[in-house]
């Protein structure tokens, strides 16, 4: 029977697996990393809090898509918490951690990743339901959306706790990975492959939606004399979510590939030299998302700007900005699920037809 090492500190496992804890990341280099990390984490906290507050405050955002968007911002906010905890428990400090504290450090990161990933998957399903029925928003009720959000976090917490619940190498040192000295290599393979497969599924779903909408637009464009912008309205519908998904895949895929290589016990891949930079790249995803929200949706940006300026005036809420207005602005008087075809033919969707940039940011 294998001996278990629950009472050991992390230096025991780092030494057993010959894992480099980057003792050279001290002095000026460590200070620079902490300064940049602190700045980005503060930005994550503030910007994602503004996104959540904007969805709560502005009744024009009270639709399933925006509730899920706010939950994605909450996942990014949680990721900021995970990164703060990581900053003060990494480098030379890693060897001094207890097993439980190290599990907590990694569990927070895994939970934040899973919450974002599952949330994007749910958004993909919601967009698929809406577009295939040629509607701007799905018919999900608030109760169903609430259930979905609760389910997302239940799955995320469970996945973050799986190694703590037993899938680790505390009783089998030979199975320990290099990047995560108390995680089993088999778990890293499972974790990375699962996430990469979900990435692939979401990309396929959005490509299918995009092709369907583009084909529908080409068919309908011959029946309308509207502007090119109006004819391309359904195509623009997917731009925000596709941008969010693209940013997520780009930021997280390198780190997942490194974890997969470690799980496969690739000793000549040089993963120790790149792991920290890929982690910083993953951090950038939580920084980019609120920027994408505000850039793609003018209504979101106006609401956030008002909150920043502490303005209580609502008289300009319906005023059109220099950019194309939000889809929800036009949806505020339409609760029956207006069809995209009608919007294209009649030119009633958002006046200028910029549905994609504004209705789904």
Please compute the mean of the pLDDT values over residues 151-179 and round it to a whole number. Answer: 90
How many CB atoms within 10 Å of residue 268? Answer: 6
If one compares 2 and 71, the residue with the highest pLDDT of the two is 71
Report the distance separating Cα 204 and Cα 79, nearest Å.
Answer: 26
Question: 49-58, 207-216, 233-242: which has the highest mean pLDDT?
Answer: 49-58
- 353 — pLDDT class (breaks 50, 70, 90): very low
**Helix (H/G/I), strand (E/B), else coil: 265:** coil
Query: What is the rounded average pLDDT for all residues in the chain?
Result: 76
Terminal Cα distance for the chain, rounded: 55
Give the pLDDT confidence of 91-105 residue by residue, as tens digits: 778 888 899 999 999
DSSP for 306-351 reads: HHHTT----TTTT---SSPPPHHHHHTT--S--BHHHHHHH--STT
Domain boundaries, the chain: 23-224+231-309
Q: Exposed e or buried b for every residue in 309-334, given b needs 16+ CB within 10 A?
A: eeeeeeeeeeeeeebbbbbbbbbeee
- Please tell me the distance from the alpha carbon of residue 282 to that of residue 40, in angstroms, as a whole number: 12
- 344 vs 160, higher pLDDT: 160
CA quadruple 83, 89, 95, 99: dihedral, nearest 10: -80
Share of the chain above pLDDT 70, in %: 73
Task: Give the tens place of pLDDT for each residue, 183-233.
Answer: 998 999 999 999 999 888 888 888 888 777 777 767 666 555 444 444 454
Which residue is associated with the tokens 């990390």?
37
Q: What pLDDT is recorded for position 45?
A: 93
Cβ atoms within 10 A of the Cβ of 63, count? 24
> What CA–CA distance (Å, rounded) separates 120 from 129?
14
Report the share of the chain in percent with pLDDT over 90.
Answer: 19
Go through the chain and tell me how many residues it has: 361
CATH for 23-224+231-309 (3.40.47.10, 3.10.250.10, 1.20.1070.10, 3.40.50.9100): 1.20.1070.10
């Amino acid at each position: 029977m294998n001996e278990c090492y629950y009472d050991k500190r992390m230096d025991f496992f780092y030494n057993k697996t010959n894992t480099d804890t980057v003792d050279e990341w001290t002095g000026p280099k460590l200070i620079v990393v902490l300064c940049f990390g602190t700045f980005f984490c503060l930005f994550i906290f503030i910007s994602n809090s503004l996104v959540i507050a904007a969805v709560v405050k502005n009744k024009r955002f009270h639709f399933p898509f925006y509730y899920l968007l706010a939950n994605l911002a909450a996942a990014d906010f949680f990721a900021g918490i995970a990164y703060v905890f990581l900053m003060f428990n990494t480098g030379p400090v890693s060897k001094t951690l207890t097993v439980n504290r190290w599990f907590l450090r990694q569990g927070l990161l895994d939970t934040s990743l899973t919450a974002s990933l599952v949330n994007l998957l749910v958004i993909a399903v919601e967009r698929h339901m809406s577009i295939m029925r040629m509607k701007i928003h799905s018919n999900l009720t608030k109760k169903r959306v609430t259930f979905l959000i609760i389910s997302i976090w239940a799955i995320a917490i469970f996945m973050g706790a799986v190694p703590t619940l037993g899938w680790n190498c505390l009783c089998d040192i030979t199975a320990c990975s290099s990047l995560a000295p108390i995680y089993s290599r088999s778990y890293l393979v499972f974790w990375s492959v699962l996430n990469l497969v979900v990435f692939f599924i979401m990309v396929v779903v959005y490509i299918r939606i995009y092709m369907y909408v583009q084909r529908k637009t080409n068919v309908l464009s011959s029946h309308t004399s509207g502007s090119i912008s109006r004819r391309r309205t359904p195509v623009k519908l997917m731009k925000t979510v596709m941008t969010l998904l693209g940013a997520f895949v780009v930021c997280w895929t390198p780190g997942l590939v490194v974890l997969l290589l470690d799980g496969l016990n690739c000793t000549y891949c040089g993963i120790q030299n790149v792991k920290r930079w890929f982690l910083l790249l993953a951090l950038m995803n939580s920084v980019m998302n609120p920027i994408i929200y505000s850039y793609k949706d003018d209504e979101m940006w106006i609401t956030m700007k008002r909150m920043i300026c502490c303005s209580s005036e609502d008289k300009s809420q319906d005023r059109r900005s220099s950019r194309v207005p939000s889809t929800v602005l036009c949806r505020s008087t339409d609760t029956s699920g207006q069809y995209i075809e009608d919007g294209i033919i009649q030119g009633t969707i958002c006046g200028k037809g910029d549905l994609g940039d504004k209705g789904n940011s």
